[in-house]
A and B are shown apart, each in its own frame.
Chain A
Amino acid sequence: MFEILTPLFVSLIVGGTLIGIIFGAIPGMTATMAVAVCLPLTYSLGLENGLALLLGLYVGGISGGLVPAILLGIPGTPSSITTTFDGYPMAQKGEGEKALRIGIVASLVGGLISLLVLDLFAPTLADFAIKFSYVEKFLIIFFALTVMAALSSDMLLGIFSGVLGIFISLIGTYDISRGGNGELRLVPPGTEYWLESGFSLLPVLIGLFGLAAILEQAEIGVPKGHSTKDINVGKHSRFSFGIFKGQSINLVRSSLIGTFIGILPGVGGSAASIISYTNAKTFSKRPGNFGKGEPAGIMASEAGNNGLTGGALVPLLSLGIPGDSTTALLIGAFTLQGIQVGPLFIGNNPGTWDAMIIAMLIANIAMFAMMYFAIRYFALVVTIPKHILFPVILMMCVIGAYTINYGIMFDVWTLLIFGVLGWLFTKLRLEVAPFIIGFILGPSAEIYFIKSLESFGDATIFFTKSWIAVVLWILIAGSVAGAALMSKKNKEISDEAV
């Protein structure tokens, strides 16, 4: 088993992880992009070495997203959205370095737990995953959507923002590759050429979080006498592992949620961190602190999105079906080598299976070592004067938007449109977080809802399909009730304050 550990194999994992972290840390670049760029190299590397590189990129790319999410409030990857909710407020309070370390430790825990699950239970879990039909998948997405209410400072405006996000996500073709009819919908006449494929997620995401923030800062301007020397990067805010005391349930639960969501093809990585975050908030003794710099929020989000890494490999290696967009690219590494991935893969290719598990383990350790000890240098990014930092971020956002779909200029316009919209949202008191969650989950919610009705006939199927559906309804009801209670409590507190 350990003969695979050649210097080349280890170097490729470590190098891949480093490149992945860099891709994840640059707003607009993602783990998926890193894997896509390096995929052609794997043909000459051979299968095991090629997978070592790609798995390093995958783990690094997912993990690197926390850096801009915490320091700049811009999620480096879609699955780091919930990391911004508490990470960025901590960075603003001068606890950026501490928030980064919390995120990195949580990422390691999430990655290792999901790897353990992958190694021990992959085929069994794949059998369980196929019990999730359109109905159960819709209910999971619906459950994730209930977070819109929980994340809003004003419940009604939050839900409105979320529904607006869903509405905008549906603009474009009802894609036949997802089972749609290929017809255009919600596209204003004369804009069909540009809006045929709708708005891409990543340009929308970096527009709303990145460009909008830059516009807001530009509006405020730099106060007279302001110096970057005044910025507290957290050198004196000591990080202690004691912060994880009492959080082991949160960490394990979030890691398992991430792993579980990863196992379900088509549900999407963003749902993993969103559901983990909502659960952490629901079960927290201090739910009111979430969104204001609560370390437990970062732990849930990062353990959740790294938990996805092992989970998404379960259906890939047990059914030949990728669990998320990045593992869909990993199939390319197998097909380029002429290797079939399916239910017999693990049994027929024990060497490759072992190599993948070892590669994931090393990638997680390498990610932790590189990020944990380099974090103080990452944190210094906030000391760069904004008139230098913002144009660089803007340039990276534009490059990222242009390259995400291999060079489509409309994606750059999307970035700019949603940057301005994000800036207008704050003026109109609309909320960005529920909007983007609605935008991410909207297309999946639509397709699974319609397919459920098409396949099973009527809406009662959502309640009667299986015991899994019943459990999901209980979770949904709990989440909605929790959000309503929290909203009521917040209102009482604000009334008392008045």
Chain B
Amino acid sequence: MKFNRRTLLAAASAAALVAAPLVAEAQNLPRNMRMVIGSKSTGGDTYQNSAIVAEALSEKLGINIKVDAVGASEAFKALGRDKRGTTIMIFHDQSYLGNLYGVTGYDDPFANYAVGPTVAINPGNAYLVPADSPYQTMEDILAAAEAGTRVRVAIQPGGVSEIGFSAMKNAAKLRAPGSEENIVAVNTGSQSDKNQAMWDDLADVINGSIQANEQFTQLDASDEKAMRFVWITARPETLEQAPEAGMGGTTRDDMLSYASPETSVPVSDSADFTFDKEFFFLFNKDMDPEVIDAIDGALAEIFEEGNIQERQKEAFFIPNYLSTEDARAHLNEKRDTYKTVIEDISSGS
């Protein structure tokens, strides 16, 4: 067969005709979309979860979606600049917690951006102590604070890492007003810094995660790196959706024993504090609502089909699709709860 310009044109036209139905649904969508994320790491949970969602969405809508790990500050800027819908964002509760804690670069996402559907939960947020710690449980920690012992907690201030610490202080305050002063923050950075703070005996408790710290809990107690979980902040109904085998040597039942209600960190007289790290979409406030609807609709179909859930569970995420409307109501309520906790601690009353 002789290839000439006409043959190539014919082939291209045929390819376009075949491809047309695949992209028909995406007519109003940009062909190339940039998904910025609030993390600079491509090894973390935000990137991992976003990569899974971007791939599924890209396939469903027949468009290209590229995940860019630009970090929170630059991601918000990029999102704020682009009203065309070519830039979308995935982030988690840090987006509003950063604002509640007054961190530079964090505007109120509910006021400045359009909050979109939720897609997954990372149930791994946890607190750990050294294997040879005198504290066996959260009850021991709160009792120590009540007895006047300083309990040092290594966190990264200003967000997800701090919210559990704020809850600990709040619980101490509910138990014995004034004892919250004995729960003090050791401000560190990455997980590596928090672990090091424990090994250097600079912290009695560290914030960590099931994924990053579980193997340290399996070490022999004589190993200076060995740790123990004392609290997993996820809701029990979230953890119940995790694989029964759990992760590494920690089964789902083990995890549940470190979470409410078995491990109680009260947020009020009648309820425990819980925190699920939820991933959700953020859009430019002035973006075409049809584009948001198209993404929302595509996600609904993707989760209906059920394949994405398998991938999310393999990576230890809990699938959690909520439509834009439901997600906004849910996240607003969640934000208000944490706002109260933070304000109660800050007020010192």
> Which A residues are within 8 Å of any B CB, using their own CB?
36, 39-40, 43, 127, 130, 133-134, 173, 175-184, 193, 196-197, 265-266, 315, 319-322, 328-332, 334-336, 338, 340, 342-345, 405-408, 447, 451, 454-455
Contacts and interface: CB of A to CB of B under 8 A. Distances in A.
B196 A133 contact: yes
B189 A176 contact: yes
Contacts of B216: 342-343
Interface stretch (B69-77, B268-276, B282-290): B69-77
Interface string B10-51: 000000000000000000000000101000111111011001
A202 to B, nearest CB: 14
A337 to B, nearest CB: 8
Contact of A330 (B43, B45, B316): B43
Given A330-B43, A336-B48, A455 B247 contact: no
Contacts of B202: 133, 455
A319 B195 contact: yes
B105 A196 contact: yes
10 contacts: A36-B42, A127-B225, A133-B196, A133-B202, A177-B156, A193-B77, A196-B73, A340-B248, A342-B213, A406-B36
Contact of B215 (A130, A175, A320): A320
Given A332-B47, A342-B212, A183 B193 contact: no
B103 A321 contact: no
Nearest to A43: B51
B214 interface: yes
A196 B69 contact: no
Interface of B: 34, 36, 40-45, 47-48, 51, 67-71, 73-74, 77-78, 103-105, 156-159, 186-193, 195-197, 199-200, 202, 211-216, 218-219, 223-225, 247-248, 314-316
A173 B103 CA distance: 10
Contacts of B214: 340, 342
Contacts of A342: 212-216
A177 B69 contact: no
A179 B68 contact: no
Given A319-B225, A332-B42, A455-B200, 19 more contacts: A130-B224, A130-B225, A133-B196, A134-B196, A177-B156, A179-B187, A182-B104, A184-B104, A266-B193, A319-B195, A331-B43, A332-B43, A332-B44, A335-B44, A340-B211, A340-B214, A340-B248, A344-B219, A455-B186
Instruction: Name, among B77, B247, B316, the residue most crowded by chain A CB atoms within 10 Å (CB to CB).
Output: B77
A340 B43 contact: no
A211 to B, nearest CB: 23
Given A344-B215, A344-B218, A179 B188 contact: yes
A329 B192 contact: no
A315 B192 CA distance: 10
B193 A179 contact: yes
Nearest to A32: B42
A196 B76 CA distance: 12
A321 B191 CA distance: 8
Contacts of A330: 43
B197 to A, nearest CB: 8
- Ranked 8 nearest A-B pairs via Cβ: A342-B215, A331-B43, A406-B68, A179-B189, A332-B43, A178-B189, A321-B192, A344-B215
A24 to B, nearest CB: 19
A265 B192 CA distance: 8
B43 to A, nearest CB: 3
